[in-house]
Structure 1
């Protein structure tokens, strides 16, 4: 299932959304070899593209992207912020600080190199169950604006493309996207602007993604994982 966004106002999405193709990193010291990164330039999305991203009514919550305004934490208790959303097992992952003007933000803790756009793998799900993973809730703590970058092609589709003979026995992985992009296949990503206090809920186990502070100041973000129904938080679009 491709990228689907909970959307009632396409113009509100267009005001904060751009699109780009991707490329693979080649001999770039900041990145892992083969990392998938936005190729640029970023371009505004069209009306037709915004409408195409709108989620059909039957879209499962587990594969849905929501652009939301999370509740403000009380008494600095960020770990409890997601409790009212309906999953008592929701997991607080902590915070991450991104430096200014980073096209992508996630690094490999072993050597500090950026991994580029990637799939999360907290739930370690095989192909068949990949769409049922937990979604990630993120809150931009500021002080700067930041972006969430999302691939328009889902992990199952990419896995089928690069492993046509045994995809059903695979565990879809970031490496599948790297192979796909390196093979010259067209792959596009969107980025959605998030001001301080804004956030997203997204299936980051199922969609290529990363954060970005390109052209922006530094910002911190807080993360949670959980199984949540859609519509629990006020939508910004």
Structure 2
């Protein structure tokens, strides 16, 4: 399934979302892993076709849905306990990450410090057939700066089929599949969603190409993250 964003106010969605395409990093961009995929940088307003493409079907699969949400802010509450009332007693707190200002993408490889670029998460170790059933990631922007969630419009199962047509059913969709897909000259449409301090998202980061970004921002942004199986509309929507 492609990227679907839950929204009730098209104007509010347009106000915080922009679109671009991808490129592969060059050899001189040594901060990144070889072959990393990053935004082209040419962000533009959403068109009517973009709105149509991300509009969820009447009965969307919750595990593949993106929501821009207002999480409860942890005033005097441990971050580990923040999602407790949200309906998944097994939700897991992943910790915090601090992004410096003006980062095109924010996630690095803990082993060598190089940036991953846009990537897939793999906490749930899911095969091709089950990749759409993974837990969604809840993010809360702790500030002090604004940050973005960047998402690819094409899903991991579609890319896996394209890159491994002979044996995709036996695969575990991976970031490298997206890298091969882009290196082969195929386009991927990107959407970036602006998140002010105190705002957040629920997104299927096991299923969609993604990363955080502070591009164009002059303040750092810390974010807290959780994984869980949450029904749609669990938190108030911002769009």
Per the normalisation by structure 1, the TM-score is: 0.98
Aligned to 2:41: 40
Could you tell me how far 1:75 is from its partner in structure 2?
Answer: 1.1
CA displacement 1:19-70 (0-9 Å, x = unmatched)? 1110111211110000000012111111331232111122110000000000
Cα distance in 2 between the residues matched to 1:174 and 1:12: 31
- Which of 150-159 and 66-75 deviates more? 66-75
Runs of 4 or more consecutive aligned structure 1 residues displaced over 2 Å after TM superposition: none
Contact 1:68 1:199 in 2 (8 A): yes
Aligned to 1:7: 7
Contact 1:148 1:211 in 2 (8 A): yes
Contact 1:11 1:47 in 2 (8 A): no
Q: Does 1:168 align with 2:169?
A: yes
Aligned to 1:86: 87
Could you tell me how far 1:9 is from its partner in structure 2?
Answer: 1.1
Aligned to 1:232: 234
Q: How many residue pairs get matched?
A: 237
Q: Which runs of 5+ in 1 are unaligned?
A: none
Matches within 5 A, 1:47-86: 47-86=48-87
CA displacement 1:196-228 (0-9 Å, x = unmatched)? 000000000000000000011201000000001
Could you tell me how far 1:76 is from its partner in structure 2?
Answer: 3.9
Q: Which runs of 5+ in 2 are unaligned?
A: none
Computed over aligned residues only, the root mean square deviation of the Cα atoms, in angstroms, reads 0.8
Q: Does 1:22 align with 2:19?
A: no
CA displacement 1:128-171 (0-9 Å, x = unmatched)? 00000000000000000000000000000000000001101100
Could you tell me how far 1:186 is from its partner in structure 2?
Answer: 1.0
Cα distance in 1 between the residues matched to 2:7 and 2:166: 36
Aligned-partner SS, 1:233: coil
Contact 1:68 1:233 in 2 (8 A): yes
Cα distance in 2 between the residues matched to 1:206 and 1:228: 15
CA displacement 1:81-113 (0-9 Å, x = unmatched)? 011110000000010000000000000111111
Could you tell me how far 1:71 is from its partner in structure 2?
Answer: 0.4
Matches within 5 A, 1:70-219: 70-216=71-217, 217-219=219-221
Aligned-partner SS, 1:15: helix
Cα distance in 1 between the residues matched to 2:10 and 2:186: 28
Contact 1:14 1:47 in 2 (8 A): no
Cα distance in 1 between the residues matched to 2:77 and 2:85: 16
Cα distance in 2 between the residues matched to 1:111 and 1:76: 34
Cα distance in 2 between the residues matched to 1:211 and 1:42: 15
Contact 1:10 1:51 in 2 (8 A): no
Per the normalisation by structure 2, the TM-score is: 0.98
Aligned-partner SS, 1:14: helix
Contact 1:25 1:37 in 2 (8 A): yes
